[in-house]
Amino acid sequence: MGIKISEAAAQRATSFLQNRGSGLGLRLGVKTTGCSGLAYVLEFVDELNEDDHVFEDNGVKIIIDGKSLVYLDGTELDFAKEGLNEGFQFNNPNANGECGCGESFNV
């Protein structure tokens, strides 16, 4: 299935990478935390790891390690502004539920 990134998220990610001045793309991953069990991790990537999978959509490379791919395959990364709040949103078909604050999820 892979990973998709919306046009709005791609524009925002490209802007961040340009302002940073370096980077191959964005790492999308998961870590064990929160009240539902898993939380998303989004960070810059300067070099690839051996178990990384690279997906490119809308001109942005999304890098995911093999362990996280199991939980994230099919996810679309989006970016939205709602009033004064703005941020990346994860549309993950593998998530069965989220905690009340939306910071963590379970599969």
HEC per residue, 74-88? CCEEEEEEECCEEEE
In Å, the largest CA–CA distance within the chain is 41
Between CA 72 and CA 20 the distance in angstroms is 26
Between CA 97 and CA 107 the distance in angstroms is 7
Taking only the tens place, the pLDDT of each residue in 23-53 is 899 999 988 876 667 888 999 999 999 999 9
Domain range for 41 is 4-106
Whether the Cβ atoms of residue 88 and residue 100 lie closer than 8 Å to each other? no
Whether the Cβ atoms of residue 85 and residue 12 lie closer than 8 Å to each other? no
Q: How confident is the model at residue 57 (pLDDT cuts 50, 70, 90)?
A: very high
| Percent of the chain scoring above 70 in pLDDT | 87
Query: What's the rounded mean pLDDT across residues 101-106?
Result: 59
Q: What is the tally of structural domains in the chain?
A: 1
Which CATH number covers residue 89? 2.60.300.12
pTM for this entry? 0.81
59, containing H or E segment: none
Residue located via tokens 């963590």: 104
Query: What's the rounded mean pLDDT across residues 12-17?
Result: 93
Between CA 21 and CA 41 the distance in angstroms is 21
- DSSP, collapsed to helix, strand or coil, labels residue 96 as coil
